[in-house]
Structure 1
Amino acid sequence: MSKPTVPSGTSDHRADSSAALHPLIADRWSPRNLDPTAELTMEQLRPLFEAARWAPSWGNSQPARYLVGIRGTETFDRIAATLSRGNKAWAPAAAALVIGVAVVLDEEGRPLPYGEYGLGLATQNLVLQAVAEGLVAHQMAGFDAAAIAEEFGLPDSVEPRVAIAVGTLAQPDTGPLDLRERDAKPRRRRALDELVSGEAWGTPAF
């Protein structure tokens, strides 16, 4: 299957970095103005979850689990219903909605170390693979985890931690004006001298 076409102008959001980054990292961003007509199949989504499957994890515990629905399915609608009001305003235009779930108890009911961290690593793999496939993926904290657990019958050993909208960018100058304005804002990050210490805490390493 051919990959979705990325609308022109995507490079406008390339990371302004102090060192050369791999394009998958430099071009990853979280737009909200998605194409409501773009469609994905489960086979087109397979590489994203395969990438997640190969993420590192503590003791190879592999704590990342996912729920996924493509637009037009009941699963998609059930996930969309749990989103916060703000996210409901734009995320249903995604081609797929995903819930990332962390295994927090092992098979004997004991706490599983670093389950949430493992889910984070796997989800970053998923998001970067989405970029490689010509897609965008916007991660969201704004959803009702308790509603997801009840709706999908999740066991006590797992916890929903993140919602992800996967799709393609809307074509330039299309879509709601408020979303276009939010997406047009420049990307910002703290400088390395605030993030990485060397000789002592707060002493910049770079």
Structure 2
Amino acid sequence: MQLFLPVEEDSNGKLLINLSDVDPPTRRIIAGNVGQLAEIKFDDGRHITIDQRKKIFALLGEIDQWTGNFTMDITERQMKQLFISEKGLDEEFSFSDCSLKLASEFIEFLIGTCFEYDIPFAGKTLDAIREQYGWDMFCIKYHRCMICNQPADIAHVHAVGIGRDRNHISHIGNYVMALCRRHHQEQHRVGIKSFMKENQLKGVKVTPEIAKMLKLGNWQQEQGQNLRFINAE
């Protein structure tokens, strides 16, 4: 059994394991093993962290249910093989001692897989991965809300200004977000600064590549393409 639990220190300097989030059946198993040896791992800053491992297993769990495997070992092996093939790696890797960088890349790969195949995220999984590097970019690419992962439109962090047509100006250097209708309305209601602070959003800076992907403003002219207008008369 593998658990991710917070370690706390009491007033006497003793380290305690907090079981408040553990379900009753698991608590009974733990209680039945009091006095036995248990393996405890702490982050050393070089290898995969506990938080990364938690995200990986949460994402694998979502993929496992969606595929109908219902066997985590099979799903883990399948996703590892796909990742190794895509990255051109020479050997297998382990979630117990792989590098921070590899773990982060694998998490991004799993998130990308979920977006590509429209695999839903459970609430706890969504909370765990929203801060992951690359999340905002996936939301922009697949038009999913950065907050709740519902279908979304592209929202502009900064207004384009009165009298300016956003379809004919350059958006490069500006910031955009992917927001569902509910959160977009909330953004207008509370104001952009309060909204972004409350939801810990930074937005995605528009590059020429992003402008082309989202077809923002005069992206074709930014790409050096000449527009042809056809007279409709």
> How high is the TM-score relative to the length of structure 1?
0.26
More helix by share: 2
> How high is the TM-score relative to the length of structure 2?
0.24
RCO comparison, higher one (Cα < 8 Å, 6+): 1
More strand by share: 1
